[in-house]
Amino acid sequence: MSKERKPRKKVLKKEERSTADIISGIYDGVRSDLAQAITLVESNATRHFHKSQEIIQELMPATGNSVRIGISGVPGAGKSTFIEAFGLYLCEHGHKVAVLAVDPSSSKTGGSILGDKTRMEQLARHPQAFIRPSPSSGTLGGVHRKTRESILLCEAAGYDVILVETVGVGQSEAIVRDMVDFFLLLVLTGAGDELQGMKKGIMESVDAIVVNKADGDNKARAEKTAHEYKQILHFLQPATDGWETKAFTCSALNNISIDKTWSIVEEFIGQTKNSGVFLKRRNEQKKTWFYTSLKAEIERMFFEEESVRLQLPILEKQIGMDEVSVSKAVEKLVERYRQ
């Protein structure tokens, strides 16, 4: 005897909000509307892209009023603990904090590293905070655009401190440096070995180096490590004109010197705004973003052109058989596109 089938429950498709409704919700600080706008920014669908651009264009007058802070860290440095402690400190002192992530590696793995909000459970529950997972796919340029536009959306929603966390290694530091005002590097004690492996480029791109876990038996070693960093920084080019890169200790777990971190950021913002460096950097970042976006769009248009797509495998084969040089193949392809 066959079992009687139960009638299927009707799955109601979530209705997509209108552009005007989302904009209104963002201005009112509705986190679900902000999240939906960021989802549109991260989507690869053409209609979502156009809708997200409409939203951003409307919100532009309300952007640019935050302090953008990049946070990177060596493995095991306690980055999640630090971001949570720092974010909670800021929220408790009247700020609205958004945490975003840049993860170029996710374009290969398809993973979303910051997706597990349990890493910052307290901060995620705070009404003055907003935590967003990193984009789970896309090219480096795509991640770059998506994070930049997410920053603008968060600013329009009233978040006055944006923390941009680097998740990947290598290129992610350069990407983040180009979208934040202040860049902080979190490190551990035992600077001797660590400094040998630390890239000079990374040290020259940060505005402060914080030696975390400076508590208990580790406190003296942490102070020694911070002193060693200060000595090295003295011989390196500072990341920001007129600013001496700081090195100090903290204990995120015990909330020690978290307030000092914010004092240094405030000092930095005040000094760079007075000298004009702050505005100059913001304008340079916009210019870089413009050219990066322009190159990405030209590349997309080029490779979507049918004549180019048809010619590519032929030229690849000819290059492999040494029938045509790479430069000549490029010239042929560009000529085909022009025609």
CATH number for 241: 3.40.50.300
Contacts of 132 (CB under 8 A, 6+ apart): 35, 38, 98, 99, 100, 101, 114, 150
Q: For residue 311, give Cα distances in angstroms to 54, 300, 319, 337.
A: 36, 16, 12, 10
User: pLDDT-derived band of residue 116, with 50, 70 and 90 as boundaries?
Assistant: very low
The pLDDT value recorded for residue 195 is: 53
Residue 110 and residue 150 in one domain: yes
**68 and 58 in one domain?**
no
At residue 5, the pLDDT reads: 58
Render pLDDT for 286-333 as a digit per residue (tens, 0 to 9): 999 999 889 988 998 999 999 999 999 999 999 999 999 999 999 999
* Residue count (the chain): 339
**Same structural domain for residues 124 and 182?**
yes
Q: Please state the rounded mean pLDDT for residues 230-256.
A: 92
pLDDT for position 43: 85
Query: Does residue 87 have a pLDDT over 60?
Result: yes
Q: Do 148 and 86 belong together in one domain?
A: yes
Provide the pLDDT confidence category of residue 175 given band limits of 50, 70 and 90: confident
**Do residues 118 and 193 share a domain?**
yes
pTM score of the predicted model: 0.86
> Are 141 and 264 within one domain?
yes
Dump the DSSP string for 222-262: HHHHHHHHHHHHTTSPPSSTT-PPEEEE-BTTTTBSHHHHH
Q: Tell me the C-alpha distance between 155 and 64, whole Å.
A: 7
Task: Please give the pLDDT value at position 135.
Answer: 58
Q: What is the pLDDT of residue 174?
A: 83
CATH number for the domain including 31?
Answer: 1.20.5.170
The boundaries of the domain holding residue 322 are: 290-338
pLDDT, position 323: 93
Q: Which of 48-57, 110-119, 159-168, 303-312 has the lowest mean pLDDT?
A: 110-119
**Pair (28, 135) in one structural domain:** no
**Residues 167, 300: one domain?**
no
Task: State the maximum Cα–Cα separation within the chain, in Å, rounded to a whole number.
Answer: 84
pLDDT of residue 115: 47
29/145 same-domain check: no
Residue 195 domain-assigned (yes or no): yes
Alpha carbons within 13 angstroms on the beta-carbon side of residue 323 total 7
- Asked whether the beta carbons of 140 and 166 are under 8 A apart, the reply is no
Q: Encode pLDDT of 187-197 as tens digits.
A: 888 655 555 45
According to the model, what pLDDT value does residue 46 have? 85
At 55, list the tokens.
């939203």
- Give the model's pLDDT for residue 112: 44
Is 88 inside any structural domain? yes
Structural domain total, the chain: 3
Confidence label for 146 from pLDDT (cuts 50, 70 and 90): confident
Instruction: Tell whether 279 is covered by a domain.
Output: no
Verify that 118 and 263 share a domain, yes or no: yes
Q: How confident is the model at residue 8 (pLDDT cuts 50, 70, 90)?
A: low
pLDDT per position as a tens digit, 17-43: 889 999 999 999 999 999 999 999 988
Instruction: Share the mean pLDDT of the chain.
Output: 86
Q: Examine the domain organization and report whether 38 and 118 are in the same domain.
A: no
Q: What is the pLDDT of residue 58?
A: 96
